[in-house]
Structure 1
Amino acid sequence: MGFQALLIPYFLFSLMFFPNFFIQSSGLRKIRKSVIRLPNGDSYGHPFDPTRVTQISWHPRAFLYRNFLTDAECDHLIQLAKDKLELSMVADNESGKSVASEVRTSLGMFLWKNQDKVIAGIESRISAWTFLPVENGEAMQVLHYENGQKYEPHWDYFHDKANQVRGGHRVATILMYLSNVRKGGETVFPNSEIKDSQPKAIKDWSECAKKGYAVKPEKGDALLFFSLHPNTTLDEFSLHESCPVIEGEKWSATKWIHVRNFDKPQ
């Protein structure tokens, strides 16, 4: 009787403070919903759902989120960018200035932060996923790759000091795929520790993708990887490449996040 007397108040307390949990006949507690509703107006009602995230590598730390974006969000980002595209640039290793290079041949443009409710919602979802504040992120860059266009192997952390003044190194990158690609356009990690463990059928992957662990661009999916180790040292395993598009076209959006506030320069 004493045990039952203690159990009933505990059960009522649990119902009051943990309404998303219920007890089945087996006695196991399960979560009704695994989603997180975000505060600042996700206009498409698309919450953050951690059950859609898969860890694909630990060296580098990389995670794939299936259906991170809705089709409507993907189409919206493309619509905002398609008539404003310019040649994509790279940071010069010595001066830090943006320069044109044959290493990167895509077209792209930057959207404004909080440009509209859709972008604000995506920014919130990224912050919930990465546990990094919105103010540490750069503006989102939308990219377009046509036949043969690519971005050769590179790191997202900086080799120059000039770009580290504002926000420090880029600690994390989120690649959001806005379209499907018939062939090519994969993101590949040549230095990944598991590069030899991924089976690749000849007809399904490009030759470029066979250099390492690769991720196919599928509309709505997002790839998160970290360029720094947890102790903030540079992670050379994070070397990555955007393989040339062979058939079709590729649309993507990139979000770089820094170790410090990027909106308020030091």
Structure 2
Amino acid sequence: MSLQQLSPDWQAWVRENVGRGCSRDSMLPLLVQGGHAQVLAERALDEALNGGALDAAQGQALRGRPAPDLRANRLVCEGQGVRVAAVLDAPQVVLFENLLSADECRQMIALAETRLARSTVVDDQLGEARPHEHRTSAGAWFHRGETPLLARIEARLAALLRWPVDHGEGLQVLRYGPGGEYRAHHDFFHPTLSGSQRHLQQGGQRVGTCILYLSEVEAGGGTRFPQLGYELRPIPGSALYFADVDAQGVEDHATLHAGLPVIEGVKYIATKWLRERPYV
């Protein structure tokens, strides 16, 4: 699976050199120099050298991911009663209702209004944040635990998803006016792109995404997974969680998703990205 995460040219290079009898140690530095994460390069070479299968000693997942307990339909997380409304197994997608109270939604929106700025995307090559026509929203970034409200919500998410608070980026609140959208994209950092490396070094890969819906939207503004044919309309207080990696810890391309254009009204959401390691 890791070999398939390389570009077609790199896959061909690996197979050609394996066929020539080149050693793992001779190929690994060249893959890393080519912009691939160390762990991905190691796994890709191991797969190629073992005929496409990892040996028993390396049969564990590439990385972990959140593991929400979905056995019950209703949960209590940090004092908040939450309902499990919908579950998809692969990719793992879960809709939680009543994660936030109406008052918490209003407070989040008010807090964000004090620092909204044009939203950005990560440049594929340089790894820098820059505006892009595919993302037409205003956003406000917050440090983890910056206010008691944010700390309470982050603790609730950590309990719900069974993933440590320090393994997450700070919350980001986004505002989409009429026509505002975020075209189809992945949240994980593509390991073969040079711009991803600086982000992967700080907390590792994004292994999960949680979108908190803060406002009613009269028309449009849904979150759509085009490969799944699934769309969720905004419900204030609800949260959409999806794992950015599969059960083996490999980036899951089926998580391609889009924030559809707002037709009428204003959409407010808060996004929480979860990392494989502590994020500083």
Which structure: greater helix fraction? 2
Alignment TM-score, normalising by the size of structure 1: 0.73
Equivalent residues of 1:114, 1:120 under 8 A apart: yes
Q: Does 1:233 align with 2:244?
A: no
Instruction: List per-residue Cα deviations over 1:131-156 (Å, max 9, x = no partner).
Output: 11000100000000000010000000
Partner of 1:257: 274
Paired residue type of 2:224: V
Q: Does 1:66 align with 2:97?
A: yes
Whole-angstrom distance in 2 between the partners of 1:185 and 1:247: 9
Partner of 1:110: 141
Please, which of 142, 145, 160 is the counterpart of residue 129 of structure 1? 160
Whole-angstrom distance in 1 between the partners of 2:233 and 2:88: 15
- SS of aligned partner of 1:63: strand
Identity rate, percent: 37
Gaps of 5+ in 1: 1-33, 39-45, 196-212
Equivalent residues of 1:171, 1:228 under 8 A apart: yes
Paired residue type of 1:214: E
Deviation, structure 1 residue 123: 0.6
Deviation, structure 1 residue 35: 4.5
Please, which of 60, 72, 80 is the counterpart of residue 47 of structure 1? 80
Whole-angstrom distance in 2 between the partners of 1:117 and 1:103: 33
Partner of 2:175: 144
Deviation, structure 1 residue 173: 0.5
Equivalent residues of 1:59, 1:238 under 8 A apart: no
Whole-angstrom distance in 1 between the partners of 2:164 and 2:260: 30
Deviation, structure 1 residue 48: 5.0
Partner of 1:96: 127
Deviation, structure 1 residue 118: 1.7
- SS of aligned partner of 2:236: coil
Paired residue type of 2:103: A
Bigger radius of gyration among the two: 1
Whole-angstrom distance in 1 between the partners of 2:235 and 2:221: 10
Partner of 2:236: 219
Computed over aligned residues only, the root mean square deviation of the Cα atoms, in angstroms, reads: 1.5
Instruction: List per-residue Cα deviations over 1:233-259 (Å, max 9, x = no partner).
Output: 010110000000000010010000001
- SS of aligned partner of 2:151: helix
Deviation, structure 1 residue 112: 2.4
Paired residue type of 1:47: Q
Deviation, structure 1 residue 47: 2.1
Instruction: List per-residue Cα deviations over 1:15-59 (Å, max 9, x = no partner).
Output: xxxxxxxxxxxxxxxxxxx65463xxxxxxx4253xx11343222
Equivalent residues of 2:216, 2:235 under 8 A apart: yes
Equivalent residues of 1:85, 1:107 under 8 A apart: yes
Runs of 4+ with >3 A deviation: 34-37
Instruction: List per-residue Cα deviations over 1:203-257 (Å, max 9, x = no partner).
Output: xxxxxxxxxx000001111000011012110101100000000000100100000
Alignment TM-score, normalising by the size of structure 2: 0.70
Q: Does 1:163 align with 2:180?
A: no
Whole-angstrom distance in 2 between the partners of 1:93 and 1:37: 37
Equivalent residues of 2:90, 2:246 under 8 A apart: no
Equivalent residue runs for 1:243-254 within 5 Å: 243-254=260-271
Equivalent residues of 2:178, 2:262 under 8 A apart: yes
- SS of aligned partner of 1:232: coil
Whole-angstrom distance in 2 between the partners of 1:158 and 1:185: 24
- SS of aligned partner of 1:262: coil
Gaps of 5+ in 2: 1-73, 191-195
Q: Does 1:81 align with 2:112?
A: yes
Paired residue type of 1:86: A
Paired residue type of 2:189: F
Partner of 1:179: 215
Whole-angstrom distance in 2 between the partners of 1:177 and 1:132: 20
Please, which of 182, 191, 202 is the counterpart of residue 227 of structure 2? 191
